[in-house]
Amino acid sequence: MTDRRPTLYLSRLLPDPVMAVVRERFQLVQEPLDALPTPLALREGLCQADAAIVTLGDLIDAETIHAATRLKILANYAVGYNNIDLAAVRARGLIVTNTPDVLTDATADLTWALILATARRIVEGDALVRSGQWTGWSPTQLMGAEVSGKTLGIIGMGRIGQAVAQRAVGFRMPVRYHTRQPNAATSFPCEWAYRSLKDLLGESDMVTIHVPLTPNTHHLIGARELAWMKPTAFLINTARGPIVDEGAVVNSLKIGIIAGAGLDVYEQEPAIHSALAELKQVVLLPHLGSATLHARVQMGLVCLKNVQAVLDGHPAPNHVQ
């Protein structure tokens, strides 16, 4: 019997509960691997599909978009979609969707994990215990920075920035935020205070970044901005690597312009600046912001909901323009 199910290209293997739904409803162009496809394999896969689910490591350029003539929807398995050439998408009339909301809590939680890990030297402590060199409690051992009561500076007050701010209550941390549209923030609690980028960087003890990567936010934080921070302050980035000039962060840490950094994202993932791994005052994670089973399953289901809607001729719930 002819298989009438639509054809789906998956650029990566997704969590089991998502794969179960995929296998029931779609014909797969090919069995997905747990590895990034080559640009050629990506293009070939997209060219054979009615719909595709791709990830943030898949760079989808104009040439690929124009070559994939059968494709109706690209569902990006991420909230950020800087990996896709949107101008080409618009020119071709392709639908692109993302996965907002379902990863907000996971990413805000991980931001707090990095705030605490950098300030309280969690990774150094773990390494000391594992090394067998720990000689017991000491009044001067691995002293870190106090977090409670310190000022939290948030750059970007979308869903994730706000979720990070909400978690500051338990730490009694005054919240300062910077956003390009401060007037849109009328629903924010009055304790959250707007600041210019320079004032926010100058006042905050913890600075955390939650803006999307666009041409306007590329290197938003460079040597000049780092110099505006306190020498006791920490920089946290769980958004996108190129928002921060990684080389400038390394230099600032080496000469004590800032105290530490917690990074989940990098300019050239999976490569990192060669000096970062040598610095004790940084905590480095492999882009884990949304990496909970719950969030990753929900992200897959959101992608599938968007794919189904478009293939059924309905508007995509998470269409990005």
Give the catalytic positions in this structure: 240, 269, 287
Query: Could you report how far apart the first and last alpha carbons of the chain are, in Å?
Result: 39
Q: How far is CA 306 from CA 43, 84, 98, 256, in A?
A: 21, 17, 9, 47
Identify which of residues 51 and 103 has a Cβ nearer to ligand DGY in the complex: 103
Of positions 10, 49, 75, 103, contacts ligand DGY by CB under 6 A = 103
Integer Cα distance of 180 and 183 in angstroms: 9
Identify which of residues 253 and 265 has a Cβ nearer to ligand DGY in the complex: 265
HSE-CB of 266 using CA atoms within 13 angstroms: 20
Identify which of residues 64 and 290 has a Cβ nearer to ligand DGY in the complex: 290
Residue 270: is the preceding peptide bond cis (ω within 30°)? yes
- By CB under 6 A, what part of segment 164-223 binds ligand DGY? none
* Choices 2-10, 74-82, 154-162, 271-279 (CB under 6 A): range interacting with ligand DGY: 74-82
Integer Cα distance of 274 and 250 in angstroms: 9
Of positions 80, 156, 241, 300, contacts ligand DGY by CB under 6 A = 80
- By CB under 6 A, what part of segment 34-73 binds ligand DGY? 56
Integer Cα distance of 116 and 110 in angstroms: 10
Q: How far is the CB of 74 from ligand DGY (least distance, A)?
A: 15
Find residue 209's DSSP bridge partners.
Answer: 155, 237
Of positions 289, 303, 306, 307, contacts ligand DGY by CB under 6 A = 289
Identify which of residues 6 and 57 has a Cβ nearer to ligand DGY in the complex: 57
Structure tokens at 123: 């990774």
Residue count, binding to ligand DGY (CB under 6 A): 7
Integer Cα distance of 44 and 304 in angstroms: 21
Find residue 193's DSSP bridge partners.
Answer: 176
Identify which of residues 14 and 229 has a Cβ nearer to ligand DGY in the complex: 14
Q: How far is the CB of 215 from ligand DGY (least distance, A)?
A: 17
Find residue 75's DSSP bridge partners.
Answer: 53, 97
Is residue 161 part of the contact set for ligand DGY (CB under 6 A)? no
Find residue 73's DSSP bridge partners.
Answer: 51, 95
Q: How far is the CB of 56 from ligand DGY (least distance, A)?
A: 6
Is residue 79 part of the contact set for ligand DGY (CB under 6 A)? yes
Is residue 263 part of the contact set for ligand DGY (CB under 6 A)? no
Integer Cα distance of 130 and 150 in angstroms: 31
Interface ranges with ligand DGY (CB under 6 A): 56, 78-80, 103, 289-290
